[in-house]
Chain A
Amino acid sequence: MSPRPLALTLAFVALPVAAAAQGPAAPASAPASAPAPSLEPRRLVQPLGDDWPTYSGDYTGKRFSPLTQVDRASVKHLTLAWTARLTAGAGAAGRARFGGGSPVIVGGTGPEGLPAVPANVKGTPLMVNGTLYVTTPDNAWALDARDGREFWHYFWRTQGSTPIANRGVGIWKDYLYFVTPDNFFVSLDAKTGKERWNKVHADFTQQYFSTMAPIVVDDHLLLGTGNDIDSPGYIQSFDPLTGDVKWRFYTVPMKEGDPGLDTWPSLQSAKYGGGHPWLPGVYDPETRLYIFGTGNPIPAYTAGRGEGDNLYTCSLVAVHVDTGKMAWAFQTSPHDMHDWDSAQTPILFEGMVKGKMRKLVSTAARNGYFFTLDRVTGEHLVTSKFGGDANWAREVAKDGSVRRNPDKDPTVPGAITNPTSGGTINWEPPAYNPQTGLFYVTERNGFSIYYLTDPDPRGSMGLGGKEEVSVGSTGNFLTAIDPTTGSIKWRRPYPSASGFGSGGGGGGLLTTAGNLVFAGDAGGNFVAYDAETGAPLWHSRIGNVSNAAISYMLDGRQHILVAAGDTLYAFALYE
């Protein structure tokens, strides 16, 4: 290298350093702008490739990356490419360390000058055109996917609410969409982070709170509700340009004549019956069905819902994306009494069932049971138990649903029941690898004693009326299921010192064409497992993994990106 270019290089390096020393008030360069994503909705119909353009990677929910640079042989060379620590709120603290960015863009109607919820990434970052889009409650960032440098940061001043998580953004052309805990639905310019508009998608006074990553299907932006008090669940389709509502689908009967009303003691009970579709669903372009899971009925643990099935809570539901009309529904646990929702993101795949190739959908539900249906017709094909020690069921009914043993409802003297109310699995996404034909899911085997504390025959409200005491566990596992039969192929324990099964698989899973499954274990390790056997092949202790990893190819290099709390870690191979 000649002296002249070297001096030039140094000059370029020196400039931003000097600017950074002056603090964030003096940005190093012109207002940052991310590359335009220009994500046409039809791209989302294609299989997942080098990018990660929607919550589950593609519409199928598989979280299967076709990238093969990192495989079972090369994974031992996987090493840290960069980290990025996210600082929530309107302040700029922490950003200078990573080269700063533009001033934080602030929206929202809440009070000023108050501390933000600390950043904790429990959603899926999207990667489109070299840019990562990441969220935490009230916050969205665009980062350079090559090194994590911040392009922009948007902060929403909330009015309050329950900031448990944000699952990520949706992208339509050059626009981003995300929800706030106080139920606004905000559209940003993806290049600059500037707000285009915000709309209310659920009523804050009714104590709805929002976490879901919007799903884009053509000119539909699909959003579901969350709430713990006695309110009805629904999903809506919005026009991505204007934010106008196209349709709304309630998961519970809202008026006389609605299907399922006879499974509730009264219309009043149904209308306050819950069934929230907390998480993104999946989409089948051939049938134009959007398939998603619904939450538990409310009141969650007590009397007050009669003895009926409480449709369509704890169900897998398919609606036509153009009309919002239900095509079919399958209830995984009629009359749930433990807050075990079935809102988990299902997975679409093709498989041989009873000698015939079928278009299938599978879900591993919070109640510890696994289900496979024909995704076109909703016909039930498989029910099996994947939560090894789940003990709440009386029988698998002829229709494939799992009937509860009422003795295991919360009782005054206590009922010892598996799983805990957290479930065998919770929100953490599963994954499916078409090369192994296996469905991977986190399996937790916790026991609780559930005490009924509100024996009022009217029932309690929300999640009230019970006391739950965790009394031990028989282990947590990374579990691989053959979804065409429901049989468990292997279970890899997440060891822990307590021997009680604590942690592991916390943020969800990624699988790749390199025949790997990536998961966080109970010891704070981010681990690459052999997708065929479950053997651990590589790990890095980054702290407890808080989301499902994604993978993308950039500049000829496959990245594996994962979060542990407020920090993103990108891993790659250096040849």
Chain B
Amino acid sequence: MTAARWVAAATFGVALSVTLRAGDAPQQPAAQPPVIEGHGGPPAPGTQTATPAPRPGQGQAQGRFPAQQRPKGDPDVIQRGRGIFAGACGPCPGADARGGQLGGPNLLRSQLALSDKAGEALFPVIKNGRPGTTMPPSPLPDADINAVIAFVHDLQSKIGGQGNPPPGEEVELNILVGNAKAGAGYFAARCASCHSATGDLAGLATRVPEPKALQNLWVSGGRTVARGGGARQTGAPRAVTTATVTLPSGQTATGTLLRLDDFLVTIALPDGSQRTFRRAGDTPKVDVTDPLTGHRALLTVLTDADMHNVTAYLVTLK
């Protein structure tokens, strides 16, 4: 493995591990893509988290667990093993080793296969079978058995973070199951007070051609994407929250809301400068205008059917 890949693997591993539990993620604001597959789930929008320093080494060069730390096998042998496995073993554990039609176990998570280092556990089982189970002795030559083991080890090395299975064949998944006409009706009733198919959303589906991305965009109002830095997608105007601060003197200041907690409020004024005001209860008065208020309210009432219908309608806005 090259040094570059080595570091990349380590970075990826740590990034995944840190999103394992939501509260486990550090909370410094930083760019983060909108799609998060962490165990802990995505942090709330706006708390997008920083990836901590990579952790090279520690066996991380080839992954975090022993099945990912075995020496890399010969690609030709692995390829040969793949074919032999599919033919000789496929019906039982399945060609992808995740369990087959004949009820064989998922080999990728099997204790025997995971703990095997270099065939010492797997070879005798393949060669001699497992008495008392459906696993028969294999007539394969030893070299073929070793190729099969190399293939299984290679598959296991591709188990992703959080037990994700190795990438399999691409499956075409169609998220467009909604009724566009019903979606147009919903849009007219719920969305048209702010948005227009011939105005701000004209050509939306051309700008965002991928239906899933479009669905994520319109449901979130674009903010999760917009706040991700470079990952910002076109298709919706950037939603900016503003605040007006009214001092006891009656003096007011209005600007982009940058920070708000129980103790301070910071806004950016039109000239780019920032102003921070100390808060004590309701003083000064802070009026927040969030253009996504409607989207937030929608979250609590939006049904999956309505969501799919609206998406089916929006993809027609070419």
Contacts and interface: CB of A to CB of B under 8 A. Distances in A.
Interface of A: 110-111, 113-118, 120, 122, 157-165, 203-207, 227-231, 268, 272, 298-299, 339, 389, 391, 407-408, 411-416, 418-423, 426-428, 444, 446-449, 451-456, 458, 460-474, 476, 494-503, 506-508, 521-525, 527, 536, 539, 541, 544, 546, 565
Nearest to A520: B27
B24 interface: yes
Contact of A158 (B20, B58, B178, B263): B58
B280 to A, nearest CB: 10
Interface residues of B, number: 96
A163 B20 CA distance: 10
Contacts, number: 334
Contacts of A541: 263
Contacts of A494: 261
B21 A544 contact: no
A472 B47 CA distance: 11
B227 A498 contact: yes
A520 B86 CA distance: 54
Query: Shortest 5 CB-CB distances between A and B: which pairs?
Result: A462-B163, A422-B22, A421-B41, A523-B261, A114-B57
Contacts of A501: 44, 46
Given A162-B64, A205-B115, A427 B295 contact: no
Contacts of A115: 53, 55-57
A472 B257 contact: no
A130 B287 CA distance: 48
B41 A420 contact: yes
Contact of B261 (A272, A453, A525): A525
B40 A426 contact: yes
Contact of A159 (B59, B178, B220, B258): B59
Main secondary structure on B side of the interface with A: loop
26 contacts: A114-B55, A114-B58, A115-B53, A160-B60, A162-B13, A205-B65, A205-B67, A207-B65, A207-B159, A207-B163, A229-B162, A412-B175, A413-B304, A420-B22, A421-B22, A421-B39, A444-B44, A449-B216, A449-B307, A462-B164, A470-B45, A470-B224, A471-B220, A472-B292, A499-B292, A501-B44
Contacts of A413: 174-178, 304, 308, 311
Main secondary structure on A side of the interface with B: loop
B46 A111 contact: no
Given A111-B58, A546-B26, 11 more contacts: A160-B65, A205-B67, A230-B106, A414-B215, A446-B42, A446-B45, A461-B165, A468-B37, A497-B257, A507-B23, A522-B47
A518 B29 CA distance: 23
Contacts of B292: 472, 499-500
Given A272-B106, A458-B98, A497-B258, A418 B299 contact: yes
Contacts of B67: 205, 207
A246 B58 CA distance: 32
A120 B176 CA distance: 43
A485 B244 CA distance: 41
Interface string B103-124: 0011011010011000000000
Interface in B3-23: 13-14, 17-18, 20-23
B171 interface: yes
Contacts of B293: 499
A496 B114 contact: no
Contact of A521 (B173, B219, B261): B261
Residue of B26, B47, B66 with highest tally of chain A CB at under 10 A:
B47
